[in-house]
Structure 1
């Protein structure tokens, strides 16, 4: 029983990262309504940027560890804002009404550009952050087996839960949240009612990019390093999880992503880890095939 509980606890941290990514992806996709392959790249790009700037602060500026982490975090968030502006104004806006495949191709190109920018910035080297807040917190123990999470895992989970809670509350209670739902339903009708659809669109892209950036920074601080392969896998998983849960509710997408993270940890604990991603993707595809489409749900309503 304690072993099962440990796997569930392990899934809470990865599930929290998936949840934040899914929330941001649903926020953007609600207004874009196109597959965004650059989302996982933004996640990895911001995580790697935080590491590179932190390394620069440590070895060149001779900052303390908290100061260099703060510098890397600030740089990653600033780059996230820049990337969101480029995506919303130069990629999404001109191509939003074109074929869905156009957005897929363009965002794939953006992913390659971001990957090459970080590779050039790192001079094709691999940098690692030192372990931080790695002390275990014991939740239960019996017969020499302890159920634990590290301090950084608990901090990450608490921070992500707070961010998602605040963002969900703002979407539910604020005027921007009402405008976002109106644009998601029908942007042309929303504009006729006086809603600035372009502003809502840019705000949604910015919110999604910031969610990906924060998730990338937290993942980098926890793992010590993050690669573009990791970003691609995370992005694809979030894309499928959000497609299964639907794009109308970022909070619902986040909840589904949390469940997915726990299921993934349980597979890792009980079955061959080499087959984990294949099994999880197969499960997501099966749910996506079995899930009724939005038109059927609307007709039933």
Structure 2
């Protein structure tokens, strides 16, 4: 029963990694550059969410659902705005520059976002109260059972819905056709009348919203988002997306889900202190062995 419980525990982690990798692949499809800002936006969204929920509870005296709604709305607004500003004034001007320049700029933006959230919270570690933590029995043999909480099941369903809806839009929608055209060849897309710069900005805003929603859902479950989580998740997402192909959103999501499964199983059966070294070593091995080239414009 214990292995089955661990497989069930892997579902929320796999869904989180999948939706993060999906959003990252949308941004990577138009930048073709390693982007550390994406992980910072994920952490920034969670921090803003907790901060405004705290304001709603302690200053506005709102009930918990209203506090969470206020935090979620502010988080999405701030994350989308940050994504638009970063895309327009940092990444777009450096798109034709060397990859190193964009990595350095992304690192600087990540530090700035983390410091902004830290200063706004006055270096306090704010926590949400537990909610929707009622266990739901998935399977039982009479003596023991496999359980997940309501929020774990809800998060998993919402994250998979985001991936499914995003994949449908990319495959059937007009935005998806423009995105694929710019992904394949931005210069040829411009010759066909597509504004590649506008598609780039919209793609980055959409990716930022995916990161924001992921940050809200993850923080709702864990209760907190650490100031340094952006750097760790940024590195993880960059390498996770490379497993399934960072320029292919569904492939990136599938590879990320497998990585989430492996990480959870290691936490269950291996030494916890070696989990992150194991994950990063596995990512490096997979990326190096299965390395595929993608033309850079």
TM bucket (normalised to shorter chain) is over 0.9
Aligned to 2:13: 14
| 2:108 alignment partner, SS class | helix
- Give the whole-Å Cα distance in 2 for the aligned partners of 1:182 and 1:28: 14
Q: Could you tell me which residue of structure 2 aligns to residue 287 of structure 1?
A: 286
Residues 34 and 100, structure 1, Cα contact 8 Å, conserved in 2? yes
Q: Does 1:201 align with 2:173?
A: no
**1:143: how far off?**
6.5
Match of 1:165 in 2: 164
Residue of structure 2 equivalent to 1:113 = 112
Q: State how far apart, in whole Å, the 1-side matches of 2:106 and 2:273 are.
A: 29
CA–CA distance in structure 2, aligned partners of residues 87 and 231 of structure 1: 15
Distance between the aligned counterparts of 2:188 and 2:97, measured in 1?
19
CA contact (8 A) 1:18 1:234 kept: no
**Offset of 1:133 from its aligned partner?**
0.3
User: Which aligned pairs between 1:1-301 and structure 2 lie closer than 5 A?
Assistant: 2-142=1-141, 144-294=143-293
Q: Distance in 2 between matches of 1:230 and 1:98?
A: 28
Q: Aligned partners of 1:92 and 1:138: how far apart in 2?
A: 46
> What is the Cα-based RMSD across aligned positions, in Å?
1.3
Query: What TM-score comes out, normalization by structure 1 length?
Result: 0.95
Asked if the contact 2:49/2:75 (under 8 Å) is kept, the reply is yes
* Gap change, CA 1:202 and 1:148, over 3 Å in 2: same
Separation of aligned partners in 2, 1:220 and 1:92: 27
Please give the per-residue CA displacement for 1:121-167, whole angstroms capped at 9, x wherever unaligned: 11111111000100111112347432111000000011111111111
1:299 equivalent in structure 2: none
- Return the offset for 1:295: 6.3
Q: Partners in 1 of 2:226 and 2:11 — Cα distance?
A: 22
The answer to whether the Cα contact below 8 Å between 2:114 and 2:230 also exists between their aligned partners in 1 is: no
| Cα distance in 1 between the residues matched to 2:223 and 2:147 | 20
Contact 1:18 1:261 (8 Å CA) reproduced: yes
More deviation, 50-59/235-244: 235-244
CA distance in 2, matches of 1:201, 1:111: 20
For residue 212 of structure 1, give the secondary structure of its aligned residue in structure 2.
helix
| Cα deviation 1:226-284 (Å, max 9, x = unaligned) | 11322322221111011122123101111111111111111111111111111111111
C-alpha separation in 1, matches of 2:173 and 2:230: 32
Could you tell me whether the CA contact under 8 Å between 1:41 and 1:228 is conserved in 2? no
Normalised TM-score (structure 2): 0.96
CA distance in 2, matches of 1:218, 1:115: 19
1:55 and 1:109 map into 2 onto residues whose CA distance is: 28
Q: Aligned partners of 2:58, 2:179: CA distance in 1, in Å?
A: 44
Does the 8 Å contact 1:84/1:205 carry over to 2?
yes
